[in-house]
Amino acid sequence: MMPAIFNLLPEPRTALHAATPILGFITQPLRFCALLPLILGSTLGAAETPSAAKNDALKPNIVLIFVDDMGYGDISPFADKHKTPQLDRMAAEGLKLTDFYVSSVACTPSRSSLMTGCYAQRIGMGGAVVFPADKRGLNPSEITLAEMLKTAGYATGCFGKWHLGDQPEFLPTKQGFDEYEGIPYSNDMWSEAGKPKDKRNHPPLPYMKQDKVIAHIPDAASQAVLTDALSDATVSFIQRHAKEPFFAYVPLAAVHYPWFVTPARLDAAGGDVFAAQITEIDQLVGRVMETLKALAIDKNTLIFFTNDNGGGGKTFSGPLRGGKFGPDYEGHRRVPTLAWWPGGIPAGRVCEEIGTTADVLPTLASISGAAVPTDRIIDGKDISGLLLCKEGYHSHHDILYYGDGGVRQGKWKLVSILQKGELSQELYDLEKDLSEQTNLATQQPDRVKAMQARLDEHTAELKKNVRPAGLVANPKPLLPDPAGIPTLAELRKLTKP
Ligand SMILES: [Ca+2]
């Protein structure tokens, strides 16, 4: 066994790429090479780590950008509402995924699913989002993407809106991230929120570095620099970890309400604050691509760009019906998604196969060589064949569940709405009617019945096999009193030239 594996050792990355223009083939060497640190560690010892590090270079670095509440049609690879040249470039040089879905909807459930490869209901994180000083959070016994990638030798960082529990036990640094900077929950859970509509009277919104509160966000000036602060933190992490495999998870608070940008950005966008936020996100993506290029690690870095649920507020769903607040029309769950990896993904591809956010964990396991947990149910599937544009690849998703509110089988889509005990069902042909305008349910009762039966089976199974959320006793606000703590705007003036 050993000699066969060691034969793969000297295969340099450049030769690998030169020899394998069809990129699906790259997955096998990557998987084999990912085993090497374990083997080297056990047979050669710590003195040989430079050799192990060399082999690590075959794994892609991963930057996972997770936007909040953006609509399917808000970026120009998907519709013409706003111009996003950097995302256009990302699509032109990479892959556009037209049929990519969130496995769970709303900030907390969606992040829970992305982090664990499971439906949020499976891990007790479905339903409501978590609030400041909530007793609930993602159970530390769950294995997150970061914990998984650490076993494959990745440095891990989270820069953004965590929203999986703000108590010390639930923070990113306790869930596999070496580094954390950002806000522990949503940017609309802040003190200003008490005026005039939100009566919850939230504690001050902290901005954190690792487990410490280093600033707070009490005003428009601090909200306006949040994306810039996260952009700086992400770029710094990439620069500091350029020589080892790294995983940067960037869950942006934008474009979730409330919308604030700097006066300069607002001017540049002709006074349209939402357009300015879309541009801000676009510029962050461009900055990450330029940073990777300057460090000469662009060819070995995957940027995966997607969004946490359908568009809310001023967003545009493009050709899709619906948005963030349901029911389960396509605009509720289908999210604009791009993948860029110049050394791994062919340029200018479009993929119409189905993928989901729960698939991200098993897929990144496949390309990094990490192992997917086998002691528990993982709902996601390895779609690396889709990501790498493998010839003839077809999605594992012969059926796709939209929570308990819908199901898709190929081109057929059932929207199932239960209201006050009344079930209404709508059937659409997505191939002919992507905008879900012509309900064919009465014409195809047998299909509706069969699809509803599959949906009911799925819902029943999910209720049966649930793991608990994390719960703490006596939760407390992270920042009960902001006295002596700078605002984020002040902090940036102090620390930026
Ligand atoms: Ca959201």
Of 46-50, 165-169, 190-194, 418-422, the one with minimum mean pLDDT is 46-50
Ligand 1 centre from 111 Cα, in Å? Answer: 9
Q: Which residues of 354-385 are buried (b: 16+ CB within 10 A; e: fewer)?
A: bbbbbbbbbbbbbbbbbebbeebebbbbbbbb
Strand pairing of 355-356 and 100-101?
Answer: parallel
Peptide bond into 29 cis (omega under 30): no
Ligand 1 centre from 339 Cα, in Å? Answer: 20
351 in active site? no
For residues 198 and 300, give the distance between their C-alpha atoms in angstroms, rounded to a whole number.
Answer: 45
The reply to whether 101 and 186 lie within a common domain is yes
Ligand 1 centre from 186 Cα, in Å? Answer: 9
Q: Is residue 455 domain-resident? A: no
The reply to whether 19 and 108 lie within a common domain is no
Q: What is the pLDDT of residue 41?
A: 29
The reply to whether 291 and 350 lie within a common domain is yes
What residues contact 361, with CB distance under 8 A and at least 6 apart?
A: 114, 115, 116, 117, 145, 148, 372, 378, 380
For residues 115 and 110, give the distance between their C-alpha atoms in angstroms, rounded to a whole number.
Answer: 9
Q: Quote the radius of gyration of the chain (alpha carbons, Å).
A: 22
Q: How many domains does the chain have?
A: 2
Q: Is residue 8 domain-resident? A: yes
For residues 166 and 177, give the distance between their C-alpha atoms in angstroms, rounded to a whole number.
Answer: 15
Q: Is residue 393 domain-resident? A: yes
Higher pLDDT, 495 or 402: 402
- Please state the φ and ψ torsions of residue 493, each to the nearest 5 degrees: -70, -35
Question: Residue 373's pLDDT band (boundaries 50, 70, 90)?
Answer: very high
For residues 456 and 310, give the distance between their C-alpha atoms in angstroms, rounded to a whole number.
Answer: 24
Q: What is the pLDDT of residue 58?
A: 53
Q: Which of 16, 35, 56 is the last residue of a domain?
A: 56
If you average pLDDT over residues 475-488, what whole number do you get? 96
The reply to whether 7 and 134 lie within a common domain is no
Q: What is the pLDDT of residue 26?
A: 31
Given 107, 118, 158, 389, the catalytic residue: 107
Residue 133 is part of which domain span? 61-398+475-495
What CATH number is given to the structural domain containing 206?
A: 3.40.720.10
Q: Is residue 328 domain-resident? A: yes
Q: What is the pLDDT of residue 191?
A: 83
Tokens 């989270």 belong to which residue? Answer: 158
Strand pairing of 206-209 and 179-182?
Answer: antiparallel
For residues 12 and 19, give the distance between their C-alpha atoms in angstroms, rounded to a whole number.
Answer: 11
Query: Does the structure show a pLDDT above 70 at 49?
Result: no
Q: Is residue 452 domain-resident? A: no
Q: Is residue 11 domain-resident? A: yes
The reply to whether 10 and 68 lie within a common domain is no
Query: Does the structure show a pLDDT above 50 at 30?
Result: no
Of 40-54, 66-80, 406-420, 441-455, the one with minimum mean pLDDT is 40-54
Q: Is residue 345 domain-resident? A: yes
Question: Residue 443's pLDDT band (boundaries 50, 70, 90)?
Answer: very high
What residues contact 63, with CB distance under 8 A and at least 6 apart?
A: 234, 238, 248, 250, 288, 292, 301, 302, 303, 304
Reported for 428-434, long-range contacts at CB under 8 A and 24+ positions apart, including other chains, are 430/330, 434/319, 434/320, 434/330
Q: What is the pLDDT of residue 159?
A: 98
Q: Which of 35, 56, 77 is the last residue of a domain?
A: 56
Q: Is residue 454 domain-resident? A: no
The reply to whether 65 and 189 lie within a common domain is yes
Strands (DSSP E) contained in 100-205 are: 100-101, 136-137, 155-159, 179-182
For residues 486 and 484, give the distance between their C-alpha atoms in angstroms, rounded to a whole number.
Answer: 6
Q: Sort 398 into a burial class: Cβ within 10 Å, 0-12 / 13-18 / 19+.
A: exposed
The reply to whether 164 and 258 lie within a common domain is yes
The reply to whether 40 and 168 lie within a common domain is no
Higher pLDDT, 396 or 413: 413
Query: Does the structure show a pLDDT above 80 at 42?
Result: no
Query: Does the structure show a pLDDT above 60 at 51?
Result: no
For residues 327 and 333, give the distance between their C-alpha atoms in angstroms, rounded to a whole number.
Answer: 10
The reply to whether 239 and 267 lie within a common domain is yes
Q: What is the pLDDT of residues 143-164, one digit of tens each?
A: 999 999 999 999 999 999 999 9
Question: Residue 196's pLDDT band (boundaries 50, 70, 90)?
Answer: low
Q: What is the pLDDT of residue 497?
A: 60
Q: Write down the mean pLDDT value for the chain.
A: 88
The reply to whether 20 and 159 lie within a common domain is no
pTM attached to this predicted model: 0.88
**Type of residue at 62:** I
Q: What is the pLDDT of residues 332-357, one digit of tens each?
A: 999 999 999 999 999 999 999 999 99
Ligand 1 centre from 281 Cα, in Å? Answer: 15
Question: Residue 165's pLDDT band (boundaries 50, 70, 90)?
Answer: very high
The reply to whether 339 and 221 lie within a common domain is yes
Higher pLDDT, 136 or 194: 136
Given 82, 163, 202, 241, the catalytic residue: 163
Residue 282, token pair as written in the block: 């676009």
Angle in degrees, CA 157, 161, 163, rounded to 5:
105
The reply to whether 157 and 14 lie within a common domain is no
What sign has the CA pseudo-torsion 434, 88, 114, 32?
positive
Q: Which residues surround ligand 1, an ion (CB under 5 A)?
A: 68-69, 107, 308-309
What sign has the CA pseudo-torsion 225, 487, 156, 65?
negative
For residues 331 and 119, give the distance between their C-alpha atoms in angstroms, rounded to a whole number.
Answer: 19
What separation in angstroms does the CA of 256 have from each of 171, 189, 249, 323?
21, 11, 18, 13
256 in active site? no
Ligand 1 centre from 109 Cα, in Å? Answer: 9
Query: Does the structure show a pLDDT above 60 at 17?
Result: no
Question: Residue 321's pLDDT band (boundaries 50, 70, 90)?
Answer: very high
Ligand 1 centre from 130 Cα, in Å? Answer: 12
